[in-house]
């Protein structure tokens, strides 16, 4: 059969409140043309993020009832720890309330003024936590990763030559080498097993720990199985284990590839570093057997980890993105290719060349998409990245709209509705105008700024 079906039935539903275009135009105006300002009740299909927004399975809900809320030594922690170690063979598993808390603890220990931390592309919160410690974050992604039309199978790869030169130049000022799988900020593009091993070997040769940001590890493993020569017959579980076997630690947001609504962890092999991390954990998150989580969250994550590596799920998951991308491509919409793991990215600079980057073409596009269809995406462009530390403004490297797909939440007809919305957008796009910012906070303006149409 060619048709890829959702590999689940629906047991419990959440109604979507239908709205009209006129109603949405008013809501958007009241939200000052910032999609973060909308009430989610006014959104039909919410593609703002794939983080914590997935549907839990019947088995996860059942596991929640087993949650043991003991302060110390809960059996829920034992199940969580065993589920993580089954896939990621690290010695120390330290639970946190979400990914950024793991980052804050790690870089609080490894960061500091003068330190320099390379990755393929640091996610915003990772960069934020590195910079908050006084250290500097560097993105050494291969060039193809910034070319929306390049068909390189592993656009998330680290540029090994650049990394080698970086490690040579900065020596002892590098406290660790990081790698984000998949590369979220670079379009959800995967990293090959070969590249993971090569980065690990370089880090080791220079005496630095190698840490993986593993948020979307299962999607990455699926791409390795599909695209990496010699891996087509490997089980997903084995690929995952191979990826983490060469690392010294990981940070994780369980809100992605663990089917959690909340949660994360920091994993480490080094005893001294783990001891220091646990001290910080107790100060800021909670005791070592729950981090910032309830026992029931630990149970939901443990169960989620056994479901995320299911090949039927992963085939459907990546197949959904591929389906949307193929159809948008046929319509002539410039989409980032090949399909990434968790989201569809639209190149607004290419589609709306009449809007200057500093008049935020991707925001204009995301806003009109909401007005037309009630679908909420997010701008990843000059509104998010344009403001410079010295107060000036400069265009971002790309002007993208990200449509992140929550896990197991929407169906084929939602995908078809999205495609139809783009048919309508195509007819209206030349009439779209840019926006100006009328009020913004000092940092991370895209979350709360107010905009007005030009
Ligand atoms: N690393 C990556 C690659 C991420 O995508 C995220 C979150 C984090 C770390 C932080 O994890 O949210 O649990 O603290 N990404 C979400 C997104 C927010 O929408 O892409 P967190």
Q: Count of CB atoms within 10 A of residue 12's CB? A: 8
pLDDT at 306: 98
Q: How far is the CA of 215 from the centre of ligand 1 (A)?
A: 7
Closest atom of ligand 1 to 263 CA is: 13
Q: How far is the CA of 426 from the centre of ligand 1 (A)?
A: 31
Looking at the domain assignment, is residue 15 inside a domain? Answer: no
pLDDT at 391: 87
Per the CB < 8 A criterion, the answer to whether 404 and 50 are in contact is yes
Looking at the domain assignment, is residue 357 inside a domain? Answer: yes
Q: Is 115 exposed, middle or buried (0-12, 13-18, 19+ CB in 10 A)?
A: buried
Closest atom of ligand 1 to 255 CA is: 13
Residues whose beta carbon lies within 6 Å of some atom of ligand 1 = 49, 51, 98-100, 123, 125-126, 180, 184, 213, 215, 253, 255, 264, 404
Q: How far is the CA of 310 from the centre of ligand 1 (A)?
A: 22
Looking at the domain assignment, is residue 83 inside a domain? Answer: yes
Phi then psi for residue 437, to 5 deg, are -85, 130
Distance CA 376, CA 113 (A): 39
pLDDT at 185: 82
Q: How far is the CA of 413 from the centre of ligand 1 (A)?
A: 27
The Cα-based distances of 176 to 163, 207, 393, 402, 445 in angstroms read 12, 9, 31, 30, 30
Single out the residue in 256, 285, 307 at which a domain terminates.
307
Closest atom of ligand 1 to 216 CA is: 3
pLDDT at 61: 98
β-bridge partners, 138: 118
Looking at the domain assignment, is residue 341 inside a domain? Answer: yes
Looking at the domain assignment, is residue 446 inside a domain? Answer: yes
Q: How far is the CA of 185 from the centre of ligand 1 (A)?
A: 10
Residue 198 parent element (H or E): helix 193-205
Closest atom of ligand 1 to 183 CA is: 3
Q: Is 326 exposed, middle or buried (0-12, 13-18, 19+ CB in 10 A)?
A: middle
Looking at the domain assignment, is residue 379 inside a domain? Answer: yes
Looking at the domain assignment, is residue 13 inside a domain? Answer: no
Q: How far is the CA of 387 from the centre of ligand 1 (A)?
A: 21
The DSSP-derived string for 130-183 is HHHTT-EEEE-B-GGGG-TT---TTTT-B-HHHHHHHHHHHGGG---EEEESSB
Per the CB < 8 A criterion, the answer to whether 178 and 119 are in contact is yes
Per the CB < 8 A criterion, the answer to whether 453 and 437 are in contact is no
CB within 8 A of 183, min separation 6: which ones? 120, 121, 141, 145, 155, 156, 189, 190, 191
Q: How far is the CA of 213 from the centre of ligand 1 (A)?
A: 10
Distance CA 267, CA 208 (A): 16
Provide the domain limits for residue 273.
Answer: 58-307
Single out the residue in 274, 291, 307 at which a domain terminates.
307
Q: 362 and 217 in one domain? A: no
Cα–Cα nearest to 188, from 178, 196, 180: 180
Q: What is the 3-state secondary structure (H, E, C) of 70-101?
A: CCCCCHHHHHHHHHHHHHCCCCEEEEECCHHH
Per-residue pLDDT tens digits of the chain, which is 454 residues long: 888 899 999 999 999 999 999 999 999 999 999 999 999 999 999 999 999 999 999 999 999 999 999 999 999 999 999 999 999 999 999 999 999 999 999 999 999 999 999 999 999 889 989 999 999 999 999 999 988 889 999 999 999 999 999 999 998 999 999 999 999 887 899 999 999 999 999 999 999 999 999 999 999 999 999 999 999 999 999 999 999 999 999 999 999 999 999 999 999 999 999 999 999 999 999 999 999 999 999 999 999 999 999 999 999 999 999 999 999 999 999 999 998 999 999 999 999 999 999 999 999 999 999 999 999 999 999 999 898 878 899 999 889 999 999 999 999 999 999 999 999 999 999 999 999 999 999 878 999 999 999 9
Q: How far is the CA of 186 from the centre of ligand 1 (A)?
A: 13
Q: 263 and 374 in one domain? A: no
Q: 398 and 346 in one domain? A: yes
pLDDT at 55: 97
Q: 231 and 180 in one domain? A: yes
Q: 407 and 301 in one domain? A: no
With H, G, I as helix, E, B as strand and everything else as coil, classify residue 280. helix
Mutate to test the pocket of ligand 1, among 127, 217, 256 (most ligand atoms within 8 A of CB): 256
Q: 325's torsion region: left (phi>0), alpha (psi -120 to 50) or beta? A: alpha
Q: 327 and 236 in one domain? A: no
pLDDT at 449: 97
Q: 62 and 138 in one domain? A: yes
Mutate to test the pocket of ligand 1, among 105, 125, 178, 262 (most ligand atoms within 8 A of CB): 125
Cα–Cα nearest to 218, from 194, 182, 169, 176: 182
Distance CA 286, CA 284 (A): 6
Q: Which two tokens stand for residue 31?
A: 């939200």
Mutate to test the pocket of ligand 1, among 49, 185, 255, 292 (most ligand atoms within 8 A of CB): 255
Per the CB < 8 A criterion, the answer to whether 338 and 383 are in contact is no
Per the CB < 8 A criterion, the answer to whether 183 and 154 are in contact is no
Atom 11 of ligand 1, residue of closest alpha carbon: 99
pLDDT at 315: 95
Q: Which two tokens stand for residue 141?
A: 């992604």
Number of domains in the chain: 2
Q: How far is the CA of 214 from the centre of ligand 1 (A)?
A: 10
Q: 245 and 103 in one domain? A: yes
CATH number for the domain that contains residue 338: 3.90.1150.10
Closest atom of ligand 1 to 262 CA is: 13
Closest atom of ligand 1 to 98 CA is: 13
pLDDT at 135: 95
Confidence (pTM): 0.95
CATH number for the domain that contains residue 203: 3.40.640.10
Atom 20 of ligand 1, residue of closest alpha carbon: 49
The DSSP-derived string for 9-30 is --SS--PPPP--HHHHHHHHHH
Q: 329 and 284 in one domain? A: no
Q: 396 and 294 in one domain? A: no
Q: How far is the CA of 99 from the centre of ligand 1 (A)?
A: 6
Atom 1 of ligand 1, residue of closest alpha carbon: 123
Looking at the domain assignment, is residue 12 inside a domain? Answer: no
Q: 354 and 288 in one domain? A: no
The DSSP-derived string for 282-335 is HHHT--TTTTTS-HHHHHHHHHHHHHHT-HHHHHHHHHHHHHHHHHHHHHT--B
Single out the residue in 256, 288, 307 at which a domain terminates.
307
Q: 298 and 322 in one domain? A: no
Q: How far is the CA of 216 from the centre of ligand 1 (A)?
A: 10
């Amino acid at each position: 059969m060619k048709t890829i079906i959702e590999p689940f039935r629906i047991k419990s539903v959440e109604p979507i409140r239908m709205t009209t275009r006129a109603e949405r135009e008013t809501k958007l105006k009241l939200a000052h043309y910032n999609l973060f300002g909308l009430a989610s009740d006014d959104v039909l299909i919410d593609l703002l993020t794939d983080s914590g927004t997935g549907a839990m399975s019947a088995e996860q809900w059942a596991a929640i009832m087993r949650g043991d809320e003991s302060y110390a030594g809960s059996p829920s922690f034992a199940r969580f720890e065993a589920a993580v170690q089954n896939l990621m063979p690290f010695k120390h598993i330290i639970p946190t309330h979400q990914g950024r808390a793991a980052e804050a603890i790690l870089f609080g220990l490894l960061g500091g003024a003068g330190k320099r931390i390379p990755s393929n592309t640091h996610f915003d919160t990772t960069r934020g936590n590195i910079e908050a410690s006084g250290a500097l974050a560097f993105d050494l992604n291969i060039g193809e990763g910034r070319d929306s039309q390049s068909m390189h199978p592993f656009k998330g790869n680290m540029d090994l030559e650049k990394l080698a030169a970086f490690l040579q130049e900065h020596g002892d000022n590098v406290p660790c080498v990081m790698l984000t799988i998949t590369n979220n900020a670079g379009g959800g593009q995967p990293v090959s097993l070969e590249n993971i091993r090569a980065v690990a070997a370089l880090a080791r040769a220079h005496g630095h720990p190698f840490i993986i940001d593993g948020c979307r590890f299962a999607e990455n493993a699926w791409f390795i199985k599909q695209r990496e020569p010699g891996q087509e017959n490997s089980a997903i579980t084995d690929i995952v284990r191979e990826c983490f076997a060469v690392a010294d630690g990981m940070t994780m947001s369980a809100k992605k590839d663990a089917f959690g609504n909340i949660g994360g962890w920091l994993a480490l092999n080094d005893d001294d570093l783990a001891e220091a991390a646990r001290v910080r954990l107790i100060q800021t998150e909670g005791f070592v057997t729950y981090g910032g989580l309830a026992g029931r969250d630990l149970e939901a994550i443990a169960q989620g980890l056994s479901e995320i590596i299911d090949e039927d799920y992963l085939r459907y998951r990546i197949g959904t993105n591929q389906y949307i991308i193929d159809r948008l491509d046929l319509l002539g919409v410039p989409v980032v290719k090949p399909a990434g793991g968790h989201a569809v990215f639209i190149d607004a600079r290419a589609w709306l060349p009449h809007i200057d980057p500093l008049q935020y073409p991707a925001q204009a596009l995301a806003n009109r998409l909401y007005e037309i269809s009630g679908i909420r995406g997010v701008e990843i462009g000059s509104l998010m990245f344009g403001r410079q530390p010295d107060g000036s403004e400069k265009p971002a490297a790309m002007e993208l709209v990200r449509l992140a797909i929550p896990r197991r939440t929407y169906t084929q007809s939602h995908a078809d509705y999205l495609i139809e919305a783009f048919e309508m957008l195509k007819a209206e796009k030349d009439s779209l105008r840019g926006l100006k910012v009328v009020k913004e906070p000092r940092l991370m303006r895209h979350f709360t700024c107010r905009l007005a149409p030009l």
